[in-house]
Structure 1
Amino acid sequence: MFGRFGKDAGSLLGIEIVATAVRLVQLERRGGGCAVRAWAIEPLAAGAVIDGRMVALDVIAAALAQAFRRSGATAVDAALSLPASAVMCCEVTLPRGLGEAEMANRLSDELAGSIPYPLDDAAIDFQVMGVNAQAPGALDVAVAVCRWDALEVIEEVLALAGLCPQVVDIDSHALQRVACRASGEVSAVLVVETDHLVFHHLREAGEHRRDELRGGDAALQLESIVRALDHWLLDSLERGRGSMPEQLLLVGTGAIAALAEQLQPRLGIACSVLDPFDGMPGVRDGALRAAAPCLAIASGLARRSFD
């Protein structure tokens, strides 16, 4: 979401929590760009996260606190993400001159019929994008909606770890920040984890597509990956949601060069492993280079410090 629990994002810890680990990145400004200030990957006990849901909050918080200590991070304000599938995004036109509270009330009324759960359970965040091109007396307002309980779980885990919730973003947006810097063009990103695949088709207009396949080790077999990608790409084209991506970037635990080399001839598009720290000064740590594909989302979240 655009959402900020506080008013100033400042320097942020980008945090991703998956079934097997907690991942943390802090960036800093250096020489007109940014560089890695701190990072860590802390293993998680089995069952702490089930099907993407944080279940054992105390276990997750302990791992997060340990990652924070080991990393040497200095920022305590954190940015996490929700899956794009858990967030409803849209754009609404509202009259100019409304105060923030009035805008929030108008948005609640406008969205009441389209939110697939009770309005009282919805967290609604919005950002004014500018004056409407066709109606100078109106504003274009970007809106994001998710369940309150999704945010409450994030707040609880961070509080237990001694950290402060500052930004809750969308995973596709976090990936777009690092993917566009790496490739300079609209791309697709495949997240390859130990228990699932997530396909993100990133578009310049921001209307990203996100598809997920869960199935344990079977989901990571080459044929399963190719079948899933063929289905997702064909479905996207048939629904008129864009053209074939120029390339596929791989991130996550299973993102290795050998997989990219196997996928490229099968898909007929360029495939490579995404390094979110490519081009950053001072990245000489071999362990960081090896872990880089796993830190893509955390890095994209940390980049919110510079938005």
Structure 2
Amino acid sequence: MLATFFRRQTPVMVGVDIGSHSIKAVLLAKNGNTFKVEAVAVEPTPKGAVVDHEIQDIEPVGEALRRLVRRLPSKIQTAAMAVAGSSVMTKVILMDASLSDDEMMSQIEVEAENLIPHPLDEVNLDFERLHPHINDPSRVDVLLSAARSESVVARVSAMEIAGLDTGVMDIEAYALGRAMAAVASRQPGLTDHKLVGVFDIGARTSTLAVVDQGEVIYTREEAFGGEQLNQLIQSAYDMSGDEAERVKLREELPASAALDVLAPFQTEALQLIRRSTQLFYTTSGHDSLEALLLTGGSADIEGLAQMLTEELGFAVVVADVFAGMKIGANVNKRDLERHNAALAIATGLAQRSFS
């Protein structure tokens, strides 16, 4: 069960984010309230091995993880990973606050058939106490999480090939929110904001998470990502997929790209964010975010943050994932700078070592 991952006492873990384009790893240390980045590594994901958050071919992913692990300190034995997408369901339920964790799990297992829209033998369950219910302090809001067992097993199996144990299996959106709650408290210009959104632009899927005073209160995924930009580049300039990815990453786009490809991509991102935030406002009672952080591989596309700020009416900034952190002497500074915004989920996972 997922509970065995969440509750196991673990040593310091490396956070590993398995994406369809790349696998990212972050290792943190902590002294008091200050984090220190001890290692960062990025490895390309074998083509077709990961699609829509799901590992399609365990062996090549495991070999890519093995190459990734070789670039980390040899002392690391345990990893924190996450599941996402259609393989995950979360639901906030009300429970008696006096119940112990074991009693809560027993009750959840009894009632799970009415709570989970999947056969129970196909999912792993876990829960987290949130806070006393606003209208009844004798009851507590509990976050129930269910993940398809095959998604969990695939990640654990791939990590075993790399020679590491899995200490925590988290949920991507919550790892993202955890990392950005810390960023919002440290990044200049954001420290006074309490209700902050995070928009993570992945290769094919983007995630909106809303953090209220450090707690993730809303998540939503949309089919949108850097692949759309690659397709626009391919179409506009008659390039292959690999060529489009290369010129995008190296910022070698033609001068005409601002109108040909960047403007359509930015417009689609704006429409998606407006739709996702409106759904949040409708269900939460809030009427506006105070700020929005951009993360993911396409977060720092030229002009995106500025355009969104002008159109949405609140500050939109590219997240500095490592704002306020110390950087270890052996950390690859080039990788840290180049992949900063894409390392948000891996950083949130690495923080599980200290929670």
User: TM-score, with normalisation over the residues of structure 2?
Assistant: 0.76
Question: Aligned match of 2:292 in 229, 234, 248?
Answer: 248
What's the CA shift for 1:236? Answer: 2.4
Letter in 2 for 1:23: K
In structure 2, what is the Cα distance between the partners aligned to 1:64 and 1:264?
Answer: 37
RMSD: 2.8
Percentage of matched positions with identical amino acids? 26
Q: What is the aligned partner in structure 1 of residue 90 from structure 2? A: 88
Contact 2:85 2:221 in 1 (8 A): no
Distance 1:57 1:142, change over 3 A: same
Q: What is the aligned partner in structure 2 of residue 165 from structure 1? A: 166
Q: What is the aligned partner in structure 2 of residue 222 from structure 1? A: 266
Q: Deviations over 1:180-230 (max 9, x none)?
A: 222233211111233333222333464312131237325981111111112
More displaced, 181-190 or 82-91?
A: 82-91
In structure 2, what is the Cα distance between the partners aligned to 1:195 and 1:140?
Answer: 32
Q: Counterparts in 2 of 1:1-307, with a 5 A limit?
A: 3-5=3-5, 7-30=8-31, 32-72=33-73, 74-83=75-84, 86-94=88-96, 96=98, 100=102, 103-127=104-128, 134=136, 141-184=142-185, 185-204=194-213, 206-214=216-224, 216-218=227-229, 221-256=265-300, 258=302, 259-282=304-327, 285-307=333-355
In structure 1, what is the Cα distance between the partners aligned to 2:119 and 2:41?
Answer: 38
Query: When you count helix as a share of all residues, which structure comes out higher?
Result: 2
Distance 1:97 1:72, change over 3 A: closer
Unpaired runs of 5+ residues, structure 2, are: 186-193, 232-261
In structure 1, what is the Cα distance between the partners aligned to 2:132 and 2:196?
Answer: 30
What's the CA shift for 1:163? Answer: 1.1
In structure 2, what is the Cα distance between the partners aligned to 1:191 and 1:237?
Answer: 19
Count of equivalent residues: 305
User: TM-score, with normalisation over the residues of structure 1?
Assistant: 0.87
Contact 1:3 1:168 in 2 (8 A): no
Distance 1:74 1:275, change over 3 A: farther
Distance 1:179 1:30, change over 3 A: same
Letter in 2 for 1:289: E
More displaced, 200-209 or 148-157?
A: 200-209
What's the CA shift for 1:7? Answer: 2.2
